[in-house]
Structure 1
Amino acid sequence: MKTFQASFKKLEFEKVIQQLSEHTVSSLGRERSRQLHPITDSKEIAEKLEETEDAVLLLRLKGGMPLAAYEDIRPHLNRVRIQGTLNGVELAQIGRILKTIREIKTFFSKAQEEAVPLKQLYEKVNGLDTFAKLERTIFSVVDEGGYVLDDASSKLKGLRQGIKQTESRTRQKLESIVRGPQARFLTDAIITMRNDRYVIPVKQENRNTFGGVVHDQSSTGQTLFIEPQSVVDLNNQLRQYQVAEKNEIDRILKEVTEEIEPYREAISAQLNSLVELDVIQAKGRYAQAIKAVKPDVSEENQVALLKARHPLLNEGEVVANDIIIGEDYKTMIVTGPNTGGKTVVLKTLGLLQLMGQSGLFLPVEEDSTMGIFSSVLADIGDEQSIEQSLSTFSSHLTNIVSILEQIDEKSLVLLDELGAGTDPQEGAALAIALLDAIAQRGSYVMITSHYPELKAYGYNRPETINASMEFDVDTLSPTYRLLIGIPGRSNAFEIAKRLGLDDMVIASARQLMSGESQSVDQMIQDLETRRNEAEQQADKAKDDLKQAQALHRELKKAFEDYQNEKERLKKKAEKEANAIVDKAREESERIIKELRQRQLDSGQQGNLKEHELIDAKSRLSGLRKEEETLKKNKVLQKQKQKKTLKVGDAVSVQSFGQKGTIVEKADGKQWVVQMGMLKMKLPEADLIQIEEEKEADRRVSVKRTSSSGVSTEIDVRGERVEEAVNRVDQYIDQALLANYPKVTVIHGMGTGAVRKGVHQYLKKHSQVKTYEDAPANQGGIGATIVTFK
């Protein structure tokens, strides 16, 4: 990590990590995500990228893993280790984590059943253990807010009933005072609390009217908060109940805390896995936020970042560029005007490499490729140090000296304005010498510069290429497009002409330029012209290809429509012919039935032979054309041919259209078949072996719409318990009439009274099969999913 860390600030990698951490759901996830750093092992990089790919797929298909916000329970587990007692809130926080782990296991089990193609996460969640018994124990004692439930023990339930009754009696007595004739002795007709005891505000001059105990007074001394003598005993009794309640709660919490101890280390390990999943999902969410994709990885460092964008710049404001280095050339020299975007391209290459080697998706087009560098070293920006008395040139040179000491053949070096800050001729010579030194080490390098000497260096040096930032002379502004293969040229004369400088002055300036410089500028201009022509031709070719593809699609659709119409007409004709045959067959069956009935009635079996009837029916059945779809079904035909008949087989008798069972084998290819009360000898060709159909299990996902007039959920948040239960009662009737299998009741958290009232109602309803809290990512305890019988 040290080989990368020096460049984190220069390339703004820390800002990317900060943005990533904002997509986690917990403080532990944020802490872990900020530890993300580039790695150099190709296998590990591939695994990290596949984790992000899994997270993106789950977000698209399932809305993400059911990761609700969770707390850092490590201090709670430490207290368990030293035999301390956890409070209700701490127990609930541990319980919520156990619930989240269980929901994640269930989530991935369903995903596996549905064959969601994940590459890494199935293996990760296989190591998760659920603690169903401990989870039930915790939530049988506290709710998700940490409140100890009345049903935690029978003693606690009795004490709380006693508290309610005593409080009710106390308030009744005090109500009789504040609402009765003695209210004139009070400063205000209210009942309040002081020192956990019920009191009333009495005027100073009437302090002896009620007797009892003074617990407090107002700032002016005109009002005394008195506990009347008539409620002293009740308050004492209430206080005794409260002390007993606290002792019972302490006992219950201690027991549950002791039950956690055997699972303490396992829970700690599961928490670590949960944090890892939190970070993986954050990577997926961040990829969606910046519209990033998974890059290919080249161990040969052949980098091709297509339509690359800087992730910290607004997508609508940044110009995407192709950044290619490593295959045909290892050094790129980028020239161009100031504020033309050279530094942004430089930073983009370095930052995307750091992101990719950290397992993050990149804001590039599909089929982009990143490398695996042993270090990414950068010298970017003005780092003049007043304290160290270093000039800009000295500061840059100090950084470059440090970089030269660290690089190897797999380093990526990024140098901004190499050689700037000193005499141009000396600076250019030094820049060329530094590039030679870096090339000897075999490192990959991208630099930005203004020196024209470097353009010739880029043209003549092997594995080196020129590039530039495009400048629009017509608008006098940069386009921020990176042109690889074309060095930047001075646009001073064109700009001067556009701004109105006299042509004679411009001509004079041209004459003062060396012939070599003019030739270079002319060469660059010709290259730009040819590039623009090539781009126009490529655009035209793309348009022609699109038109050809569109025409191909139209022709293909027309041919498919023709084939479909041909098939439809053929089937229509077959159906009409079959209808005629069916009508004749029905008539013949009616006649045969009459003949058989007459024969049975007369008892003269010899007059009409059975085989004659079978032969007649077989001929009639042969008139009907077999449906084309069945005829072409080769699988069914092969299955029919494969099956061999035997005694006991269930068969379909084609001539009669009836099912029967083979009783015995007759001579030749004849079988005796039992059809109801009738036994008949039939030819094998007339029999088709059949099996009892087994209804395949199917998982059906039904999405209800408002077409039935009834929503699949009801929201009763903010309503009183009675009103909420009444509304739910009416809604359940409507949902049952609409034949819904399940519905959702949204009641919110609040004090929990509405949730409790709804659950009591559902518990008694005869048509309710089950009800349970919604998953954490669908409302948790703020909603209840109801399943009908």
Structure 2
Amino acid sequence: MNRSFNEKILKTMDFDAILHICSEHAATSLGKELAASLRPSGQFEEVKRRLKETDEAFLVDRLKGGAPFGGIRDIRQALHRARIGGMLNPGELLDVALTSQGARRLAKFLADMHEDHPIPTLIAVCERISDHKPVEDRIKQCIDENAQVLDSASPELAKIRHELRMSESRAREKLEQMVRTPSIQKMLQDNLVTIRGDRYVIPVKQEYRSHFGGMIHDQSASGATLFIEPEAVVQLNNKVRELKLKEEAEIEKILLALSALVGEAADPLLATTEAVGELDFMFAKAGLARAMKASLPIMNDRGFIKLKKGRHPLIPAESVVPIDVELGNRYTTIIVTGPNTGGKTVSLKTIGLLSLMAMAGLFVPAEEGSQLCVFDAIYADIGDEQSIEQNLSTFSSHMTNIIRILREMTPKSLVLLDELGAGTDPAEGSALAISILEYIHRMGCRIVATTHYSELKAYAYDRQGVMNASMEFDVQTLRPTYRLLVGVPGRSNAFAIAERLGLAKSIIEHARGQIGEEDQRVESMIATLEENRLQAEAERQTAEQLRREVERLREELRRERERFEEQRDKLMERAEREAREAVAKARREAEEVIAELKRMQREEAGAVKSHELGNLKRRLNDAEPELRRPKPKAQSRSKADKIEPGDEVMVLNLGQKGHVVEFSGDKEAIVQLGIMKMKVPRDSLELVKPAAAAVKKPQQQAASLKRTRDDNARMELDLRGANVEEAIIEVDRFLDESYLNNFGQVYIIHGKGTGVLRSGIQEFLRRHKHVKSYRIGNFNEGGTGVTVAELK
């Protein structure tokens, strides 16, 4: 064992009490043994490895509630005996099977965990767990869960036990017949059959001994009852005894065979057992961390300690006062002053114990981000080391311990000194304490020392790398708060306490007069520092509150930004999907149109009718994807006022173009949208093209196609002067509009002329899907110059 971490320092720091708590979290005796033997390490890499395994076990414990260690036993002694040819009893063999099974179950559990949450250190230990299922199965075939050898262990054992049960049954039946006989019942103490020495007997009254032959196997304490084996069952009992001996011999043979099987796998089974014990120990450390609400410390090897809200793990959580300590950066020595029972010794032990726990691979009860150092040794002189047997005074005992520390320490050591220089003359004690501290400080060690001497306050104030500290004391309540204040020397508070308790002011003033001017200046300086500290503490709390508020707002902003980006990505994804679907639909429609054109070309020998081309062109136009544009902002009232009837406008809330027919009041307008008229809010209109700016189409030389209606839906269509192809296109569009307007019948004016136009139109009406029937107009309807179509 490393001499630096001897049993004395571990006991002084209560490290053994921590190990006892840790062992209680172990599930097996193997883990408890390792926990009890845990010692700190001064090797930086070793400490990091230990903390890594604790951290991984803590992760499993947090996510899964621990690991399965059921059925695992300490089978090391049984394995050693089996390896040298010894015979294991049924219980030991059953333990071997259960331990092997439990180890396999544990390894699988951790392997499954490793797939989702990497735990490489634990998996490296699991690699030493070997699979011995054939051995397990063979043992379970022969031994039941109560550690009894089964009949099925061997055919010979099954045969022997069958004969044994038959012989025992015959012996019992023979004796039961006897005890049921009236003449024999009066000679018996009890009418029952019992066993003595593996032989069936009956209880006979002592005075009737001569009436029974056979052998006496036992008698009652009073001698009044004799347990006799009658001659009639002697042979049967002999048979039972013989079969029992055969049974024992066969069982021994089975156990030897199973033990040999275990002996062949003893070495890998031993490695498996030790690996399981190590895993149990790691999870015991994790359980300790959970129970203490401890965290993973950040380790270094440069002598730096920074404890955030460090708590002594053995003080109840409801009463412990956390401490904040930083050592090894700007200063390497802390001198703690203050009154007795103020918590100086507890603070000293907290620093030492948490350092030992971290170096042993344990989490420490402190906030996340706390840092601790891997020291090569920790030395402490704490408490009254007086020894009556050695005839040493308190001072001599302290000096003996300190001399040993000075002889053994190195620059990488942590030294903890409690009540340095106590037990002797104050002047000499303070001078000696300063000299000892100066020697250790020059050595480069990290030191935390407590003292009552005021001279050490001035030493810490003047010496670079040395920092004053104190335990806070509440003068109002006359109680210590147990808070460690680094940077503020302690005050005696004797006068304040005496005044609060009622001591006469004149006595207190006289006492103040006895204190030297230098001491009064020091006390005044300390009082000023205390006021400044309290003010700074209040400002720090305010700043901390503001910082938390800023952090909260920043976190809310971050979450809002994430939600916005997530919604944006979803909208973009949906838009891309809809665009792909629209393009795919248009492509399919275009392909169908092309296929239709090819079909027509084949069927009609290259002559495609104009109206068919028109229909296909409309299908292509309808197949064009409709793009969704952001909804424009509503137009201002001033722009809407400039729109006049006949203007082409965009209806913003519908996303469609139309023409203004007329205005209905100040707020609404009637707009022609294709074949429909709609009343829409006036401020939802956006001017596209004024009516005066509409470009007229050039007049054709031939007769132009004109309709006897404007864009409003009418029931008649004037086609006079048009050729057949143009007329059919217009008729098709006219019929679609009329069908949408639910017209029952419509009038198509084609004129009388040569009758070619009338024949072409009527042929088209005959095949149209919206036309139910058609006829020549009556005399008052235009006669043969008009065709009347009745719609479906």
How far does residue 448 in structure 1 lie from its aligned partner after superposition? 0.4
Gaps of 5+ in 2: 579-588, 631-792
Counterpart residue type for residue 232 of structure 1: V
Cα pair distance change 1:608/1:43, threshold 3 Å:
farther
User: Residues 265 and 552 from structure 1, CA distance in 2 versus in 1: closer, same or farther, beyond 3 angstroms?
Assistant: closer
Shift of 1:74: 3.1
Structure 1 residue 616 displacement after superposition: 9.1
In structure 2, the partner of 1:256 is: 258
Aligned to 1:130: 131
* Counterpart-to-counterpart distance in 2, 1:572 and 1:277: 50
Kindly indicate whether the alpha-carbon contact (under 8 Å) linking 1:334 and 1:342 is maintained by their aligned counterparts in 2. Answer: yes
Aligned to 2:762: none
For the pair 1:26 / 2:28, whether they are aligned, the reply is: yes
Closer, same or farther: CA 605–462 of 1 in aligned 2, 3 Å: same
Q: Which deviates further from its counterpart, 16-25 or 374-383?
A: 16-25
Take 2:442 and 2:576, find their aligned partners in 1: how far apart are those partners?
Answer: 81
Q: CA deviation at 1:138?
A: 2.1
How well do the aligned residues superpose, as a CA RMSD in angstroms?
Answer: 4.0
Classify 1:85/1:178 alpha carbon distance in 2 versus 1 (closer, same or farther; 3 Å): same
Seen in structure 2, the aligned counterparts of structure 1 residues 277 and 608 have a Cα distance that, compared at 3 Å, is farther
Distance 2:82 2:194 in 1: 39
Task: Indicate the structure (1 or 2) with the bigger Cα radius of gyration.
Answer: 2
| 2:265 alignment partner, SS class | helix
* 1:374-523 to 2 correspondences below 5 Å: 374-523=376-525
Task: Indicate yes or no: 2:321 matched with 1:322.
Answer: no
Match of 1:240 in 2: 242
Closer/same/farther in 2, CA of residues 559 and 17 from structure 1, 3 Å limit: closer
Q: 1:307-357, CA deviations, whole angstroms, 9 ceiling, x for partnerless residues?
A: 111122222221110121111111000011101110111111111111111
Q: What is the rounded CA distance, in whole Å, between the counterparts of 2:567 and 2:33 in structure 1?
A: 64
Query: 1:8 aligns to what SS in structure 2?
Result: helix
Structure 2: distance between partners of 1:46 and 1:292: 17
Which residue in the other structure is 1:224 paired with?
226
Give the superposition deviation at 1:399: 0.7
After TM superposition, the structure 1 stretch with the greater mean CA deviation from structure 2, 555-564 or 446-455, is 555-564
**Are the aligned partners of 1:574 and 1:625 in contact in 2 as well (CA < 8 Å)?**
no
Q: Relative to 1, partners in 2 of residues 1:234 and 1:606: Cα closer, same or farther, differing over 3 Å?
A: farther
Q: How many residues align?
A: 618
Q: TM-score, normalised by structure 1?
A: 0.71
Task: Work out whether residues 183 and 189 of structure 1, in 8 Å CA contact, stay in contact via their aligned partners in 2.
Answer: yes
Distance 2:616 2:176 in 1: 98
- 2:28–2:69: 8 Å Cα contact kept in structure 1? no
Q: What SS is found at the alignment partner of 1:120? A: helix
CA distance in 1, matches of 2:530, 2:14: 33
Amino acid in the other structure paired with 2:450 = T
Q: SS at the partner of 1:539?
A: helix
8 Å contact kept, 1:469–1:478: yes
1:272 Cα deviation from its structure 2 partner: 2.5
**CA distance change for structure 1 residues 442 and 155 in 2, over 3 Å: closer, same or farther?**
same
User: Deviations along 1:511-551, whole A, 9 cap, x unmatched?
Assistant: 22222212211221222222222222222233334445556
Aligned: 1:4 with 2:42:
no
* Counterparts of 1:194 and 1:7, CA distance in 2: 62
Tell me which residue corresponds to 1:782: none
Conserved 8 A contact 2:30-2:74: yes
Q: Is 1:121 aligned to 2:122, yes or no?
A: yes
Q: TM-score, normalised by structure 2?
A: 0.70
Match of 1:532 in 2: 534
Give the drift of 1:565: 10
Q: CA deviation at 1:490?
A: 1.0
| Superposed displacement of residue 140, structure 1 | 2.0
* Alignment deviations for residues 128-163 of structure 1 (CA, whole Å, 9 cap, x no partner): 222222222222222344321221111212222333
Tell me, yes or no, if the aligned pair for 1:416 and 1:449 is still in contact at 8 Å.
yes
- 1 CA distance for matches of 2:100 and 2:620? 69
Deviates more, 1:63-72 or 1:155-164: 63-72
User: Which stretch has the larger CA shift, 257-266 or 337-346?
Assistant: 257-266
Tell me: CA distance 1:354–1:608, structure 2 relative to 1, closer, same or farther (3 Å).
Answer: farther
Give the AA of the match of 2:391.
S
Matches within 5 A, 1:325-364: 325-364=327-366
- How far, CA to CA, are the matches of 2:605 and 2:618 in structure 1? 17
Query: Which of residues 63, 66, 87 is equivalent to 2:65?
Result: 63
Structure 1 pair 484/271, CA: closer, same or farther in 2 (3 Å)? same
- Conservation of the 8 A alpha-carbon contact between 1:50 and 1:119: no
Give SS of 1:388's match: coil
In the TM superposition, what is the alpha-carbon distance from 1:494 to its structure 2 partner? 0.9
In the TM superposition, residue 241 of structure 1 has moved relative to its aligned partner by 2.0
- Could you tell me which residue of structure 2 aligns to residue 642 of structure 1? none
Superimposed CA distance per residue, residues 41-96 of structure 1 (whole angstroms, 9 cap, x where no aligned partner) = 21111111001111111112223232236444333233223322222122222222
Opposite residue 506 of structure 2, the aligned amino acid is M
Taking the aligned partners of 1:618 and 1:228, their CA distance within structure 2 comes to: 117
Long gaps (5+) in structure 1:
577-587, 629-789
Sort the Cα spacing of 1:241 and 1:614 in 2 relative to 1 into closer, same or farther, 3 A. farther
Q: Percent identity?
A: 44
- Provide the C-alpha distance between the structure 1 equivalents of 2:283 and 2:102, rounded to a whole number of angstroms: 14
Q: Distance in 1 between matches of 2:96 and 2:191?
A: 45
Q: Are residues 568 and 395 of structure 1, via their aligned partners in 2, closer, same or farther at CA, if it must alter by over 3 Å?
A: closer
Q: Does 1:542 align with 2:537?
A: no
Instruction: Tell me how far 1:37 sits from its aligned partner.
Output: 1.6
- CA drift of 1:381 comes to 0.6
Give the match's secondary structure for 2:335: strand
Written as runs of structure 1 = structure 2, the 5 A alignment for 1:601-640 is none
Amino acid at match of 1:56: F
Cα deviation for residue 561 of structure 1 reads: 8.9
**What is the match of residue 100 of structure 2?**
98
Cα displacement (A) at 1:39: 1.5
User: What's 2:789 paired with?
Assistant: none
Contact residue 302 and residue 325 of structure 1 kept, 8 A: yes
Separation in 2, partners of 1:206, 1:432: 100
Asked if structure 1 preserves the Cα contact closer than 8 Å seen for 2:189 and 2:225, the reply is: yes
Shift of 1:485: 0.3
AA paired with 2:153?
Answer: A
Q: CA contact under 8 A between 2:71 and 2:98: conserved in structure 1?
A: no
Give yes or no for contact 1:292–1:362 (8 Å, CA) kept in 2.
Answer: yes
Distance 1:473 1:567, change over 3 A: same
- The answer as to whether partners of 1:187 and 1:223 remain within 8 angstroms in 2 is yes
- Spell out, residue by residue over 1:88-143, the C-alpha distance to the aligned partner (whole angstroms, 9 max, x if none): 1222222222222222222222123x322214111221232222222222222223
Bigger drift between 328-337 and 8-17 goes to 8-17
Shift in alpha-carbon separation, 1:60–1:178, aligned structure 2, 3 A: farther
Per the alignment, residue 764 of structure 2 pairs with: none
> In the alignment, which residue of structure 2 is the partner of 1:38?
40
Query: Is the contact made by 2:72 and 2:103 (CA closer than 8 Å) also made in structure 1?
Result: no
Q: Is the CA contact 1:93–1:144 (under 8 Å) kept in the aligned structure 2?
A: no
